C-alpha cells in the first residue's frame, strides 16, 4: 500500500507524458462539465428554490432521482443521441471530448441543482427582498443570496466535480478510450487493470486521489483565509 | 458591492485549473479537419474500430505511428469486441474496421455494409490454463477433445461472452460437438481478452485466447499454453473498407490509404518482425 503511494508520487513527478495526457484529458473534460453544470445549476437552483407551485414536490423527487443516474446508462443515452443516424449525429461528436462533457453535464447538473435549491430554501428569505429594497438590481440581489449560502454552493460544485472526475461509464461509452484524446485517468485505470497491469493501475489511481486532495486543500485555504 | 473573496478565489482556482487543462492536447474542433496530438503534421484523422485482442497485443501502437508519419493521416483506435466493432461500422460511427471473425465479416459484406475485405495477418487461438492442468488438456489431440475434457471434468472455463471474434470461435467449437456449455464451471465474463486472461489467472481457469494478447501479457500471468496447433484454431485478421454508397460521409479515401498501407510491403515486414517477450505475435502469410 505504501509502495503504491510512493509509486504514485514518483509517477506524478516523473511527468511521464502518457500520464500527463490522461490527467490533461480528465481535467479538461471534468472542469468544463462542472463549470457548465454550475452555470445551469446556479440560476435554475435559485429559481427552483424560491419558487412555490403545486407540482414542486414531484419535481423534487424527479431531480433527486437524477442524482442516482448510473453513468453507463447516461453513456448509453448520449451514445444514442450522438450516433450517426440520430438527429445530432451529423456533428460527429461521438468519441470526442465534447461527447464526454455532454454526458458529464447530465450527471453533474442535478447535483448542483438539488444542493443549491435546498440551500436557498434554508436561507433567510429576507436576503433578496432586503437587497432589492437597498436598491440592488435583481441580479445583484440573487448574487447576494448565493453569497449568503456560498459554503453550500461551493460544496455543490465540488461534489459535481467529484462525481464527474471519477466516472468511467460515460467516458468509456461515448469517449471510446482513445489514446491521447479521450482516455481519461479512470478509463486508463480500467484499461490497465484489464491488461493485468495492477501496479500501474494502482499508481494511476493514487495520482487521481492526490490531485483531488490537492484541489480540496487549495479550496480550503482559499475559503478560510478570507475569514481571518 | 464588495467583491466576495471566496467566489473570486474559487473563480480564480477554476480558471487556473482550466487553463492548465487547456495546456493538454485539444482534439477536433471542426467537423472535417481534425488535428491530433503528435508533433507530426496531421491533417486528417480517421477512426478505426478494432478488437481488444489486436489492441492489447500492441501491434497497432507499433504500426500506426509509422502510417501517420508517412501519410499525415491520424488514426483514432477504438478497441471493442468484434461484435461492437461491426455495430459501430453499421451505424456509421467509424471509418474502417480491423476484426477477426471471418463468418461475421462475410455476412457484413454480403449485407452491403462492407465494401471490401482484405487479409492483414494471422496468429492462432490457444487454450491456456493453470500449470496443474486438471482436465489434461495438454495431452489432447484436437481442440474439440480438449474442450470435451474440460466440460467433462467441469473444470472452470472463462468465456469472453461478448460476441467477439474469440468468443465466436469458442462457441463454434462447442457447437461442432453439439453441446451447450453451462454450469458453475462455465463463466461468461463479457469482457475483453486482457480482462478475461486476468480473470482466468485469478481463478486458475482455462480460457481460449489469441496468441497476441497472451504473449503481450504473459509476464503478468501464471497461465500456460496447454493446447495449440489445430487448424480450427487459426485466427485471421482482416481489414474491412466500408460501403461509401450506404455511408457517404465517412473518410473513405483516407481509410483506403490505411487499407493499402497495412497490406503493403512495409507493414508486412513490420508485422512479421513484431515481437513481444521474444514471441512473434502475428504472421503475414
- Write the pLDDT tens digit of every residue in B179-227: 999 999 999 998 888 889 999 999 999 999 999 899 988 988 999 999 9
- State whether B92 and A178 contact (CB < 8 Å): no
The share of chain A scoring above pLDDT 70, in percent, equals 97
pLDDT at A94 over 80: yes
**Beta pairing, strands B157-159 & B44-51:** unpaired
- State whether B76 and A154 contact (CB < 8 Å): no
pLDDT at B149 over 90: yes
Buried b (16+ CB within 10 A) or exposed e, B25-58: bebbeeeeebbbbeeeebebbbbbbbbbbbbbbb
Which of A137-151, B7-21, B201-215, B265-279 has the weakest average pLDDT? B7-21
Q: Which residue range forms the structural domain that includes residue A93?
A: 2-227
Place of cell 457447437: B175
- State whether A84 and B92 contact (CB < 8 Å): yes
In angstroms, the CA B239 to CA B195 distance is 24
Spatial contact of A204 and A10, defined as CB atoms under 8 Å apart: no
Give me the domains of chain B, ranges plus CATH numbers. 37-123+236-280 (3.40.190.10), 124-234 (3.40.190.10)
**Span B104-112, average pLDDT:** 95
Give the C-alpha distances (Å, rounded to integers) separating A71 from A23, A93, A107, A162, B278: 20, 18, 7, 13, 41
Identify the bridge partners of residue B241 per DSSP, sorted by sequence position.
B96, B116
| Number of other CB atoms surrounding residue A85 within 10 Å | 11
Three cell numbers at B32?
A: 472535417
pLDDT at A196 over 50: yes
Counting one residue from A and one from B, how many pairs have CB atoms under 8 Å apart?
122
In angstroms, the CA B115 to CA B243 distance is 5
In angstroms, the CA A74 to CA B94 distance is 21
Spatial contact of B213 and B194, defined as CB atoms under 8 Å apart: yes
The CATH number of the domain where A194 resides is what?
1.10.3720.10
Which of A140-149, B183-192, B248-257 has the weakest average pLDDT? A140-149
pLDDT at B14: 64
In angstroms, the CA A68 to CA A214 distance is 27
- State whether A195 and B26 contact (CB < 8 Å): no
In angstroms, the CA A83 to CA B244 distance is 17
Interface test with A, best of B4, B17, B162 (most A CBs within 10 A): B17
Helices vs strands, H then E, count in chain B: 11, 11
Nearest to A150 among B7, B12, B78 (CB): B7
In angstroms, the CA B180 to CA B188 distance is 13
A98-102, A201-205, B25-29, B216-220 — most confident range: A98-102
**Long-range pairs for B59-62 at CB < 8 Å and ≥24 separation?**
B59/B121, B59/B212, B59/B271, B59/B274, B59/B281, B59/B282, B62/B270, B62/B274
Place of cell 468544463: A32
**Span A28-48, average pLDDT:** 95
Nearest Cα neighbor of A165 from A37, A17, A11 is A37
Which of A94-103, A172-181, A208-217 has the weakest average pLDDT? A208-217
pLDDT at B4: 55
**Span B60-80, average pLDDT:** 95
**Span A29-43, average pLDDT:** 96
pLDDT: is B17 or A168 the higher one? A168
Three cell numbers at A67?
A: 442524482
Determine the residue of chain A that is closest to B2 in CA distance. Answer: A144
Strands (DSSP E) along chain B, which ranges? Answer: 44-51, 73-80, 96-99, 114-129, 157-159, 186-188, 206-210, 224-227, 234-242, 275-276, 279-280
A83-87, A213-217, B137-141 — most confident range: B137-141
pLDDT at B20: 54
> Taking phi first (over 0 means left), then psi (-120 to 50 degrees means alpha), and beta for anything else, what does residue B200 get?
alpha
pLDDT at B273: 95
Which of A55-64, A116-125, B127-136, B235-244 has the weakest average pLDDT? A116-125
Nearest to A24 among B5, B21, B28 (CB): B21
End-to-end CA distance of chain B: 77
Number of domains in chain A: 1
ipTM of the modeled complex: 0.81
pLDDT at B18: 58
pLDDT at B21: 55
Which of A123-137, A139-153, B4-18, B221-235 has the weakest average pLDDT? B4-18
pLDDT tens, position by position, B175-185: 999 999 999 99
In angstroms, the CA B32 to CA B45 distance is 9
- State whether B195 and A194 contact (CB < 8 Å): yes
Amino acid at each position: 500500500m505504501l509502495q503504491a503511494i510512493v509509486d504514485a508520487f514518483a509517477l506524478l513527478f516523473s511527468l511521464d507524458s502518457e500520464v500527463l495526457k490522461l490527467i490533461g484529458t480528465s481535467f479538461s473534460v471534468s472542469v468544463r462539465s462542472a463549470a457548465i453544470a454550475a452555470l445551469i445549476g446556479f440560476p435554475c437552483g435559485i429559481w427552483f428554490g424560491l419558487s412555490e407551485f403545486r407540482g414542486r414536490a414531484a419535481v423534487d423527487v424527479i431531480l433527486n432521482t437524477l442524482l442516482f443516474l448510473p453513468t453507463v446508462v447516461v453513456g448509453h443515452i448520449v451514445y444514442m443521441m450522438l450516433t450517426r443516424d440520430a438527429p445530432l449525429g451529423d456533428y460527429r461528436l461521438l468519441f470526442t471530448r465534447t461527447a464526454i462533457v455532454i454526458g458529464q453535464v447530465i450527471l453533474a447538473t442535478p447535483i448542483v441543482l438539488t444542493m443549491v435549491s435546498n440551500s436557498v430554501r434554508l436561507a433567510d428569505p429576507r436576503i433578496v427582498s432586503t437587497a432589492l429594497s437597498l436598491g440592488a438590481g435583481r441580479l445583484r440581489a440573487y448574487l447576494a443570496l448565493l453569497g449568503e449560502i456560498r459554503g453550500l454552493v461551493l460544496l455543490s460544485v465540488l461534489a459535481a466535480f467529484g462525481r464527474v472526475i471519477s466516472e468511467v461509464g460515460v467516458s468509456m461509452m461515448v469517449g471510446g478510450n482513445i489514446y491521447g484524446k479521450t482516455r481519461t485517468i479512470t478509463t486508463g485505470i480500467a484499461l490497465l487493470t484489464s491488461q493485468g497491469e495492477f501496479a500501474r493501475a494502482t499508481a494511476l489511481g493514487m495520482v487521481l486521489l492526490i490531485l483531488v486532495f490537492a484541489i480540496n486543500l487549495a479550496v480550503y485555504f482559499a475559503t478560510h483565509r478570507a475569514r481571518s | 458591492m464588495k467583491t466576495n473573496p471566496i467566489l473570486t478565489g474559487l473563480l480564480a482556482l477554476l480558471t487556473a485549473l482550466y487553463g492548465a487543462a487547456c495546456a493538454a492536447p485539444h482534439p477536433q474542433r471542426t467537423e472535417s479537419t481534425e488535428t491530433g496530438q503528435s508533433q507530426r503534421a496531421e491533417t486528417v484523422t480517421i477512426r478505426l474500430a478494432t478488437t481488444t485482442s489486436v489492441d492489447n497485443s500492441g501491434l497497432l501502437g507499433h504500426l500506426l505511428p509509422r502510417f501517420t508519419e508517412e501519410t499525415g493521416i491520424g488514426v483514432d483506435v477504438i478497441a471493442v469486441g468484434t461484435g461492437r466493432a461491426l455495430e459501430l461500422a453499421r451505424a456509421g460511427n467509424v471509418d474502417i474496421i480491423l476484426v477477426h471473425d471471418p463468418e461475421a465479416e462475410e455476412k457484413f459484406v454480403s449485407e452491403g455494409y462492407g465494401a471490401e475485405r482484405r487479409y492483414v495477418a494471422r496468429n492462432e487461438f490457444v487454450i491456456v490454463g493453470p500449470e496443474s492442468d486438471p482436465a489434461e488438456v495438454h495431452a489432447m489431440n484436437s481442440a474439440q477433445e480438449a474442450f470435451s475434457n474440460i466440460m467433462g471434468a467441469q473444470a472452470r472455463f472463462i468465456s469472453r461472452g461478448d460476441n467477439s471474434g474469440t468468443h465466436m470461435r469458442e462457441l463454434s467449437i462447442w457447437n461442432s460437438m453439439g453441446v451447450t456449455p453451462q454450469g458453475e464451471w462455465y463463466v461468461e465474463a463479457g469482457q475483453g481478452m486482457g480482462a478475461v486472461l486476468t480473470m482466468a489467472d485469478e481463478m486458475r481457469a482455462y480460457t481460449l485466447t489469441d496468441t497476441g494478447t497472451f504473449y503481450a501479457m504473459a509476464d503478468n500471468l501464471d497461465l500456460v499454453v496447454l493446447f495449440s496447433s489445430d487448424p480450427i484454431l487459426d485466427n485471421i485478421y482482416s481489414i474491412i473498407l466500408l460501403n461509401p454508397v450506404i455511408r457517404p460521409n465517412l473518410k473513405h479515401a483516407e481509410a483506403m490509404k490505411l487499407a493499402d498501407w497495412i497490406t503493403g510491403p512495409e507493414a508486412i515486414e513490420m508485422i512479421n518482425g513484431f515481437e513481444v517477450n521474444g514471441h512473434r505475435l502475428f504472421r503475414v502469410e
